Structure 1
Amino acid sequence: MLLSIKEVAENQRSIRPVAEEYGINFMTLQRYVKKYEKAGPNEGNKISTGYLKNRQILTPFQENELAVYVIECSRIYHGVSPKDLRQLAYQFARKNNVVVPDNWIKSESASSDWLTGFLKRHRHVVQ
């Protein structure tokens, strides 16, 4: 993708022939050329292509620590309810100086969307 963008932006070639040559949709190439030109010559190489992952509040390492804790609680017959897990996640994030959304601060617990995503990422917690 970067080669085709540079062909258009730096070598002043037309978008359609370059898109056809590289097998890229011309509108997609046009969108990335605009991003490249807007970023400037120094930052142009850093533009991202493709789909981005949703922003996670906790890092994967932090989520793994939380998952291990929940499994340990469950192992000693002290299960964690969904509401407790959401509150625990909020407290864990605050103690680790993680920036959390405003709705977490207002309710002093993680959102139900976070819980759903957490359980999808850590299926072993539910079993």
Structure 2
Amino acid sequence: MSGRQSWSEEDMAKAVAAVVSGKMGYKLAARTFHIPRSTLQRRASKIRYQLPDDPKPLMGHYRRVFTDNQEKDLVGYIKSMEKYFMGVSRRDIRELAFQYAEDNNLNHPFDVNSRMAGEDWVRNFLKRNPELLNKSEKEYELEPVNFDQFYHFMCQFS
């Protein structure tokens, strides 16, 4: 039987708290709480260097590009575009996500050459925001437009 993870999560939490607060170094905390120093370093650095509004990692090494608030802003913008007679396709959402990430100087994995988010990203975005899914499914269908309302809307901006 190996001695792997023979420590408790409670001891790890105490050690991480001691290191992050500056009361102990890694070596002393690892000895005091009987935990591996390398595991302590990894867990403490995740807490120490993560910004409060930083998107949380999802699975493995993949990270979310936008915070929850930023994603809500994107959803709101897409809904407002649909409200004002502008159909939004998946391609539009991909371009919008890229532009939003660029404008906010976010670290993103989107394709710089095509200036769009990936297909996987938009698929997962629509899964997280199912209220947009109905409109995006019908991206190639034309919806009837009330031209009087459209004209009134356009006159407001000129």
Query: Which TM-score band (shorter chain)?
Result: 0.5 to 0.7
Per-residue deviation at 1:44? 7.3
1:97 aligns with 2:105: yes
Equivalent residue for 1:113, pick from 116, 120, 125: 120
Per-residue deviation at 1:64? 0.7
**Shift in CA distance, 77/10, structure 1 to aligned 2, threshold 3 Å:** same
For residue 71 of structure 1, what is the aligned residue in structure 2?
79
**Shift in CA distance, 44/82, structure 1 to aligned 2, threshold 3 Å:** closer
Equivalent residue for 1:88, pick from 81, 96, 102: 96
Alignment check: 8 A CA contact 2:11 2:33 kept: no
Q: What percent identity do the matched residue pairs reach?
A: 27
Residues 70-96 of structure 1: CA distance to partner in whole angstroms, max 9, x if unpaired? 111111221111111101110111001
TM-score by length of 2: 0.51
The code of the aligned residue for 1:53 comes to L
Equivalent residue for 2:70, pick from 41, 62, 71: 62
TM-score by length of 1: 0.62
Alignment check: 8 A CA contact 2:111 2:117 kept: yes
RMSD: 2.8
Per-residue deviation at 1:3? 3.4
- Please list every run of 5 or more consecutive structure 2 residues that lacks an aligned counterpart in the other structure: 1-7, 16-29, 47-56, 135-158
**Shift in CA distance, 116/9, structure 1 to aligned 2, threshold 3 Å:** farther
Aligned mates of 1:123, 1:78 — CA distance in 2: 19
- Please list every run of 5 or more consecutive structure 1 residues that lacks an aligned counterpart in the other structure: 13-32
Equivalent residue for 1:53, pick from 53, 58, 80: 58
For residue 53 of structure 2, what is the aligned residue in structure 1?
none
**Shift in CA distance, 93/47, structure 1 to aligned 2, threshold 3 Å:** closer
Higher helix share: 1
